[in-house]
Structure 1
């Protein structure tokens, strides 16, 4: 764009708006240094704010990811513990069955010994009465 005096620019803009030349031309005057500095400061502050928001969102995402991972790993740990406890119970039940069988065999042996002892006592008492 060619630089034009301010009055010429305004006139061209008015003519362009009314459809005189077929296009819209807009030219602003050069911004003051204070405006430039203020604009840059506003841009910097907006960037800092955006970075803080992004950092906050990233931290929230990390927290949720960790929480979700903990929730997913907790049932696995619990299911592993439950499976371990079930295996321990099965081993104890198997050992219990073996012990119950041994106790039953010992009770059978004790009962047989009691019958034999009673038979011997009956025989001894019977022989004593026969001798008298």
Structure 2
């Protein structure tokens, strides 16, 4: 079931990801929904490239050939690349291609959301620990203020209870002074 196709004729060059992927989402999209390479060269029959080495079988996740398997020189994209490139699977129908692209994109989207959730969880954990530290500092300050305010409360209570007694005493003294002056004025 081997179909030969030159690398130049393949616009997507196998499993390369489209140039539009950038940033975190681009990194997530660089990971295929299913691994690119099938097992540790354990497939049969053996396919040998021009270099006379066993060619690994890969899975393309490009827009042009999603999920399509192919053989490529084991030195692919290196100095010793012999250029060997053969499709294992026939070309997919438009329906299958669209279905596989939709599934690939759904996997990438779920990975992206999972990564965002993991980042938000880390931020939440960090903020939670910072909040716990701040709450403990505030509680310590509250306790310190309560300890400092206890003598002030006692002093305020003494002053307030003493001031009513002082007013009564002052009123009594004024009454006595008034009576004394009244008696003196009346005696004159």
Structure possessing the higher radius of gyration over alpha carbons: 1
Q: Which has the higher contact order (CA 8 A, sep 6+)?
A: 2
TM-score normalized with structure 1 length? 0.45
Q: Which has the higher helix share?
A: 1
